[in-house]
Amino acid sequence: DSRGRVLFAVDQVTGEITITAPLQYDAGKTFEAVVEAKDQGDIPKVSEATMTLTIVNVGNNAPRLEVKLQKTVFDNTVLIPEDAKNSTFVGKLLAIDNDPGVSGDVTCYSAHPSFRVDPFGNYFAIIMSGSLDREQAEKIDVVLVCSDAGSPSKTSSVSFQVLVSDVNDNAPMFSQTQYVANIPEENIFGRQILKLTATDPDAGINKLFTYSLFPRENSVFSIDKDSGILKARTTFDHEVEKRLNVIILATDEGHPSLVSTATVIVNILDINDNYPEIITKELRVQEGIGNMKHVGNLEGSDKDSGVNADLVFSMPPTDDITGQMFKVNPNGVVIAIQELDRETRDRYILYLEVKDKGLDPKMTSGTVTVIIDDINDHAPVFQFPSETNHTA
Ligand SMILES: [Ca+2]
Ligand SMILES: [Ca+2]
Ligand SMILES: [Ca+2]
Ligand SMILES: [Ca+2]
């Protein structure tokens, strides 16, 4: 044959012709062989006959497939960006089947949903038919399958690789959209509030990002652009502000870059850093009120919150007369223990203490003046006229 193979042999005695190599079927192909016969005389007589062999197609051959990719990065591998549009041309699929009739009619399909093959003249066009996502699959094996219409049908497959290149299609993602931090007031400058974390599933510079504050100028907070550590640039005062919000951005280095945001709520917790005050300066009471009677309520204040501003009044033991005359309840109610008589004494000065219930209680001392008002308990004594001198 054309490749110089010996395809036939003839038995020198019996004349039997045998096939020594597989005869590949090609439509219409015939083989010719010349057969010689000679006798065994001293000068042999030779005669020749031409043998013509037509190969009959008894089997059906599977299509032979070949992929010719458009942009190969290396052998049999094509590089496609993950945002490649539907219908992007990827390469050609050649499907050769020389079988006669329907045994040579070939149809093909792609086993991968993101690709399809469309008949196009004497080849099939390999075309994108779905979207790619590098974050899902960075390397794809695409298997193309072709079958002829013979019976039985013969099928072949061929594959190629797709390397999906990254596009910056993901913003960095914070681990939470909202963070809450509880920081006691009177913190030191530069105290760490919390560490934010974000991740970006892209590749290369598309996955690099930095943290920043929004707006960038902030006198209260600072953030480390690489570590995401949020710090205080000031000393917080619960009595001025109980809760602060700050917006953090994570911006990647893709072109164009993508940004995401998170909110940090900072609760400024109370510390017992304020002393109570006694607001009441004086209490007025009418004379003559008796034993265990209500004189008045003491009022106090404390700028702190909760127990740190929960006040307890007391009157420390004293040798003074006030200790025998008055009693102060913890809630600030002042009681007269004995009857108050203006004529005996018209004012008393109470020495008081007020203390909060904080963990480290703060106490303030002060005085409150109790003024005894007159209720005209003595009938006027007329000097003149009088009943006794009969001047009336
Ligand atoms: Ca990104
Ligand atoms: Ca990406
Ligand atoms: Ca306090
Ligand atoms: Ca406080």
How far, in Å, from the CA of 333 to the mean position of ligand 3? 20
* Closest CA relative to residue 229, chosen from 212, 216, 247: 212
Q: Which ligand has the nearest atom to the CA of 364?
A: 3
290 falls in which pLDDT band (50, 70, 90)? low
Looking at residue 105, what is its pLDDT? Answer: 93
Residue type, 15: G
How far, in Å, from the CA of 203 to the mean position of ligand 4? 49
Q: Dihedral sign, CA of 267, 269, 273, 276?
A: positive
341 falls in which pLDDT band (50, 70, 90)? confident
Looking at residue 263, what is its pLDDT? Answer: 98
Looking at residue 17, what is its pLDDT? Answer: 80
Between CA 354 and CA 332 the distance in angstroms is: 9
Between CA 389 and CA 336 the distance in angstroms is: 43
What is the average pLDDT across 76-84? 95
What is the average pLDDT across 296-319? 95
How far, in Å, from the CA of 334 to the mean position of ligand 4? 28
Q: Chain centroid to CA 247: how far?
A: 15
Looking at residue 44, what is its pLDDT? Answer: 80
How far, in Å, from the CA of 258 to the mean position of ligand 1? 6
Q: Which ligand has the nearest atom to the CA of 164?
A: 2
Answer for the pair 62, 52: CB distance below 8 angstroms, yes or no: no
Size (the chain), residues: 392
How far, in Å, from the CA of 247 to the mean position of ligand 2? 25
Share of the chain above pLDDT 90, in %: 67
4 falls in which pLDDT band (50, 70, 90)? low
pLDDT digits (tens, 9 = 90+) for 249-273: 999 999 999 999 999 999 999 999 9
Q: What residue ranges define each of the domains in the chain, with the CATH number in brackets?
A: 8-54 (no CATH), 64-165 (2.60.40.60), 173-269 (2.60.40.60), 277-373 (2.60.40.60)
Looking at residue 392, what is its pLDDT? Answer: 45
Q: Which ligand has the nearest atom to the CA of 239?
A: 4
Q: Which ligand has the nearest atom to the CA of 310?
A: 3
Q: Which ligand has the nearest atom to the CA of 362?
A: 3
**Strand pairing partners for 18?**
9
How far, in Å, from the CA of 253 to the mean position of ligand 1? 7
Looking at residue 362, what is its pLDDT? Answer: 98
How far, in Å, from the CA of 331 to the mean position of ligand 3? 16
Q: Which ligand has the nearest atom to the CA of 236?
A: 4
Is residue 232 pLDDT above 80, yes or no? yes
Q: Flag the least confident range among 46-55, 102-111, 117-126.
A: 46-55
How far, in Å, from the CA of 166 to the mean position of ligand 2? 5
How far, in Å, from the CA of 314 to the mean position of ligand 4? 23
Backbone dihedral angles phi then psi of residue 298, each to the nearest 5 degrees: -85, 140
Is residue 65 pLDDT above 60, yes or no? yes
How far, in Å, from the CA of 246 to the mean position of ligand 2? 29
Q: Which residue has the higher pLDDT, 320 or 175?
A: 175
231 falls in which pLDDT band (50, 70, 90)? very high
* Closest CA relative to residue 322, chosen from 364, 367, 280: 367
Round the average pLDDT of the chain to a whole number and report it.
89
Looking at residue 119, what is its pLDDT? Answer: 95
Q: What angle do CA 224, 226, 230 make, to 5 degrees?
A: 30
Looking at residue 253, what is its pLDDT? Answer: 97
Q: Dihedral sign, CA of 126, 129, 133, 136?
A: negative
pLDDT digits (tens, 9 = 90+) for 128-153: 999 999 999 999 999 999 999 998 99
pLDDT digits (tens, 9 = 90+) for 211-230: 999 999 999 999 999 999 99
How far, in Å, from the CA of 134 to the mean position of ligand 2? 6
How far, in Å, from the CA of 242 to the mean position of ligand 4? 10
How far, in Å, from the CA of 8 to the mean position of ligand 2? 62
